[in-house]
Amino acid sequence: MLQNEIPTKDWLVFDDTPSIRQTSIDVSLPLAPENELVMQKLIDFVRYSQDPQKNSGHTIRPAVGLAAPQIGHNLKMYYIRIEETDDETGDKKIIEHAMINPKIIGKSEQIACIEEGEGCLSVNCDKEGFVPRSFRIIIEGYDYLKQQQVTITARSYEAIVFQHEQAHLEGKLYYDLINKTEPWMKKSNWIIL
Q: For the segment 161-186, what is each residue's pLDDT rounded down to a tens digit?
A: 999 999 999 999 999 999 999 999 99
pLDDT of residue 4: 63
Q: What was the pLDDT predicted at 90?
A: 83
173 occurs within a structural domain: yes
116 in a domain, yes or no? yes
97 is in an annotated binding site: no
In the prediction, which pLDDT does 85 show?
A: 83
pLDDT of residue 89: 85
DSSP state of 162: H
In a domain? residue 58: yes
Residue 15 lies in a domain: yes
SS3 content of the chain, % helix, strand, coil (to 5): 25, 25, 50
Neighbours of 181 (CB within 10 A): 5
- The answer to whether residue 38 is domain-embedded is yes
The dihedral formed by the CA atoms of 48, 115, 181 and 110, expressed in degrees to the nearest 10: 100
Query: Any binding-site annotation on 164?
Result: yes
Longest CA pairwise span in the chain (Å): 50
Task: Indicate which residues carry an active-site annotation.
Answer: 165
Residue 174 lies in a domain: yes
58 is in an annotated binding site: no
- The pLDDT value recorded for residue 126 is 84
First to last CA, the chain: 33
Rounded CA separation 181/80 (Å): 31
Over residues 56-74, the pLDDT tens digits come to 887 899 999 999 999 999 9
Residue 2 lies in a domain: no
| pTM as predicted | 0.94
Spans in the chain with pLDDT lower than 50: none
Structural domain boundaries, residue 179: 9-192
Q: For the chain, how many structural domains are there in total? A: 1
CA 188 from centre of chain: 27
CATH code, domain with 46: 3.90.45.10
DSSP string, 42-63: HHHHHHHHH-TTTTTT--S---
Residue 94 lies in a domain: yes
